[in-house]
Structure 1
Amino acid sequence: MRLRSLESRIVILFLVLILAVQLAGFFAIQTGIRENAQLAIRDELQIGERVFGRLLDQYAQKLIQGARLLASDYGFKQAIGSNDRETAESALANHGDRIEASHALLIGLDRSIKASTAATPGVDLEKSILHLVDQAEQTGSAAGTGIVDNRPYQIVVVPVKAPITIGWVAMAFAIEERIAADMRELSSLQVSILSSRTDGTWVLDVSTLSPTEASILAPQLRGMPANTKFLPQLTLGDSDFSTRIVQLAQNSGQQVIVVLQRSVSEAVAPYRRLQINLLILTAIGIAVAVVGSVFVAKRITGPLRKLGETAKRLGAGDYRGQIEMRRDDEIGELSQAFARMRDGISNRELEIRRLAYWDTLTDLPNRAQFANLLNEAITDARKRHGSCHVLMMDLDRFKHVNDVMGHSFGDALLRRVAERLQAQLTSPVHRLARLGGDEFALLLPGTDVHEARELACRILTSLEMPISLEDQNVDLGAGIGIAGFPSHGTDAESLLSRAEVAMYAAKNGGNEAVVYDPAIDKSSQESLSLLSELRRAAEENQFRLYVQPKVMLGTGEVVGIEALVRWVHPERGMVFPDNFIPFAEKTGFIRTLTRWVIEQSAALCSQLEASDIKLRVSVNLSTRDLLDQELPAKFAAVLARHALAPSSFCLEITESAIMDDPVRAQQTLEGLHAMGVDLSIDDFGTGYSSLAYLKRLPVHELKIDKSFVLKMENDPDDAKIVRSTIDLGHNMGLKVVAEGIETLGAWELLAAMGCDQGQGYFIGKPMPAEQFADWLQRWKSPFNGVNTATGLRVAS
């Protein structure tokens, strides 16, 4: 191969280019690694500060709940009312031990300590508590951090009401090694908690560092300026750390700080391995380039003319002809061929690019173009050390509109939605895209999470107004997921993926806009597995219908049954409702389950009527069922299919289900009521519904929750609640049913109170539907020994 030949020039050019590119890339990446490592460590520490704050908030909320349990204790309130200090102190001590409180105090309305588990509460503790009492008086409860005996404590204050405030319960909990360990598990940060002394020294209270490193941390911080928050490098033993200092509490010249540390060597270790890999790849690339360039150079000069002819035919769009060989200057001929090919392809490339990067229906960027725009926004945000956010939106009920009105109507509706979304954008740099189907995405460069939330709220508000199209008004909602750089991802693919996860969490959880959280991914994977098993259970008929009888308490006559569902899992055996019903309600699978129960109950009811057994079947409805405006029509179809009267059923609704969306719930209930179906409020007394609202509901029955019935024989308060509920129901013209009757004494007491019907283990446990007829033949009333199904007297 001659030095000045085309082949040798190609080889030399390849080697020079690849060597230059590899070296430039190596040094650029090395610089980027160093800068990115520093930025990543700083970001980790900032995020860690927020995570630690939220962890403290979570602990505080748990502690407030524990204190509220004591504040709501009836005996404790009586002790306060009667000024029984000994009983109050005993209650404080017992409850404080249960929730591991270091100090528990009762504060009077005059802000004095009425009772305490500590013989002499410190002045610092008393000041902190009185400050929180002032806050709790405004907000209902308060939590804070204080310094007691040179140690940090979390302090919570809740009111004691009967029903007005009669005092305050205060509890203090030492901030111990557990919270540092929890923070260590949540992040890759080392956590240390230190307290200052009057001489300016620091004392280590808690640390996740090794004993050697922890022993030299406090001396390193001596003399540190008061306003210092970030130390780029702090050497402890053989390790270097970047450190962020968070003030936890301050009192009378003392302060407690949290030191969050990230090991520099650990953070940089993956990058160092990357550098070694780059060097190895560079060497391999050069070796491959030498071999490859020689091989390629030998193969280029021969086919030059053939490539030129091929380029001509490609430019003309002719792919059928044979390659014609012409002896001429190869480079010149190839240049002319590519010039003609360029003109022929350029126009087609424009059209191809439009089809590849733009949505033809809405003339908006498609997913590929949006990903490119997002990558550009991320690059710009990284240069400016800023942020950008992505909103991903999926329309609600669009599939139904498409199925009912047709695809052309759906296409027109999508164009109108795109116009409405475009009108909500307030900045020219915001970009809207259609990702496919009824999914849209918005790119918000240079925005923070609060601005992203505000835009999401504006979009959801705009969608509340029906869209008028072809004399049809269409109501659409949406679930919106929010993800941002750098908090949730550093590239377009991860941001889009996490925005989509948040979007589905919004749709499944009933929230309209959700910001991505790593916990969603984990719960999504677990939910996906359980949801798949539930769907498989429906397809493979793994559900079983169970029933529990309901009787007239005055006569013992069986008048109805409540339909229940059980899941017979092929591997786990019998799965009870508490293990899958809440998840089914959360994911929307409850609608499928409700349809199954109604269908099976209707079939059972039809079978019983064929045997001349006329009973009313009670079926529970969930919140999602009540929000389905088509439920009355679906239920009417089931009744017609099994030739049943609406009075054969009683549909039970919990108070909480009604109050989630009272307007839509009442519309559904009125539709069912108009059909002639009896309606019942289940678990009455455990919800938060308004009696003024309940009296407007078209219900026929109240069911007293079993939590009151189970203890009413021995608990006068529960008995009073049950009696009051019975009187309330009768005064409203409703029948009253009691759940949880497990003894004859409870039956007799309820009958004496005038309760109409009851159910429970004393009457009959939930049983497979196919066994009910046999049970009914054996049933006898405990009062007269008469089988109320056959009318025959049965010997006791």
Structure 2
Amino acid sequence: MSLSVFLHPSKLHNRIAGVYLALLLGVQALSYWFIQDSIDGNARAAIQTELDTGEKVLLHLIDQNANSLEQATRVLAADYGFRSAVASGDRETVNSALLNHSERIRADLALFTDPDFVLQASTTGQADRFLAAVKRQADQALAGTSQARQIEIIGGEPFQIVAVPVRAPALIGWVGMGFRVDETKLQDIRALSGLEVALLRPRPAADPDIALATFERAQWPALQQAWQASASRATPLQRAVELDGDEYSARSVVLNAAPGQAAVTAVLMRSVDQALAPYERLQLTLLILTGLGVIVFAVGGLYTAQRITTPLRSLTASARRLEQGDYGDAVHARYAGEIGELAQSFETMRQAIQTRESQISRLAYEDALTALPNRVQFRLHLQAALQHARDTRPHGGGTCAVLMLDMDRFKHVNDVLGHRFGDRLLQAVAERLRTQVLSHPRAELARLSGDEFAVLLPNTEADDAIPVAQRILRAFETPLTLDEHTVDLSAGIGVAIAPEHGDDPDLLLSRAEIAMYVAKRQQAGVVVYHPGLDSTSEESLTLLSELRQAVDTHQLRVFLQPKIDLRTGQAIGAEALVRWAHPTRGMVPPMRFIPFAEQSGFIRVITLWVIEQVAQLGAQLEAQGLALKLAVNLSTRDLMDPELPHKIAQLIERHRLTPERLVLEITESAIMDDPQRALQTLERLHALGVKLSIDDFGTGYSSLAYLKRLPVDELKIDQSFVKHMESDLDDAKIVRSTIDLAHNLGLSVVAEGVETAKAWKLLAGLDCDEIQGYFVAKPMPADTLAEWLTQWHPPDTDGEVLATDFSAMLN
């Protein structure tokens, strides 16, 4: 097995391993997500803690620096010499002391004002903004709200302002010192807190800009832009800032300013990426461990799944063998647990299928009564023999003979002594045939149906087949004895030779059957087929091929012959008759195609087509308020079809026809060919609600015993008795007896072949129920029936005079 096939996703072991691998990955991904979320949350919480600490450090440093600066400034304010100089008004001494002291304490700006804040001395030439800042600081000190953290922008730079009063002992002035806040101080804060620091100076009518920052100066514009962009999505004191692709968590600290003055803001920033960096190594370690775990789990899972699915593949191979019809190899249950139980179930199933398969094969190809091959098996053997004959023809062989025989008088024996005796008789006939036939090399005997048998003689000419047939006939010269009954049987045998009489199994069987029927009809014993026995065979085959197309191409037509109720004179139904409108032959008479359609079995297709047309027409007439009974003839082949009732039920339901509107006419001969089977079919048809009629009554050989058992509703008197009844008293008596018999059995009577008004009047006097014939109407196209019904008027037969004998019969 290739690696691509082994790893194909459709394989069960891959699906098992895949499911658990997916679960593992899902759990690991969920765990990783939780860890990532926890790390992110913890890191951000730690950043907030750092920002809190950084804010405290920043404020503490500013406060500490402010206290130091204030103490240093107070030294100058308390200096005696400085106060003396101030008191004496010696400005030069004040300037000198102010300058020296500012240099000593490293103050960048220094000034002295009188109590009214009039500048007396200053170390800078432009001290207006500085003086204003000192005055604000002094005012706050006098008000008791001095802000040690006051940082103001002077000359565009941030300064920490200190204002100290000079007293001697009364207030004689103020000393103000300004200390520039430079990058060194911010770096000190950064070193102590680990945070980036920036000072934002306010601007009139504009956003603050950066005065100082621990970042590189080249980054200040980007920091300025990022800070302004974050203003819309942050709290006033807490922001998230994106700088050069790095995320910073920032906090603004407002450094107190005097009332009415814009405050300087210190911004403390901590890189989130740097805070998360230590955890990223941990995450990488987790990912590596997860990857190793997945690999180990995948290998282990595939191995385990392979161990599980190996016995399943073995069972799959066994199932494929069963699918292909190989039931010989046993399924071994070599595994424990559920798979072992499954294997045992497969083995039990294999044995059961093998048993049923042999039974089905026997039923499909073997006659259950005689254990001989049936028609299907015989046809297969005949086909193989014909193929062998074709293959050996170039080498001097290539012949094959078929003998078909039918027992004489068997049906009579079956009717008199019963079917059980008939079955045993057939078994005895089969045994006698075995004795006579199977002695011939490679001969095969089969029972085709009923009392019909066939013999296959491979590589046999007609001269060799005839002696075999004659030996069979001589074998039946000795009567058969069963249950103290001696039965004298004979047979008619037809012989067909391949390739002379055909090279197709069905054609060869058909011609052997033709010869057999000739042998029975002429009491000739053995007849070899020749074209003269079936002079119309080629035409029949051509017509049969064309007839199959006629149904599909709508060449068939339904004609209807009305039926009249003699009591009311009104039309109550019609008989459906099929006509073939051939595109080149014209109207083909029914007697030209119906007989061979019955012989070939195609009559079933025609019958169902007619019934469907009638059902559709009947439903249409019902919709028009014309509740007519429409009759359709059934042939022997139709009656022997076990599926016929089901097919008719489907047609009735499809066209929503009232079942009582459909009448099925069956001839006596069709019923008597196989009374028991016919009775079963008729009972199923009767259960559908359709009406059943015995057609051509009086011309067959039915007995009253069968007639009273049939679930029929009416009798149709054959036209041979009706046509001449007004002139033949015997025919009239037969008709009257039939009518009385039918009425006594609770059946209605239909007389067909009515061609004169006298016949109408006579049948009405004999209490016949319905009539049909040319006197009423000839068969007409189905689509003209409705118009005919509107024009029909019963004839006036009062003026018809019957002969005395006939009149007396009516009284």
TM-score band w.r.t. shorter chain: 0.3 to 0.5
* TM-score, length-scaled by structure 1: 0.40
* TM-score, length-scaled by structure 2: 0.40
Pick the structure with greater CA Rg: 2
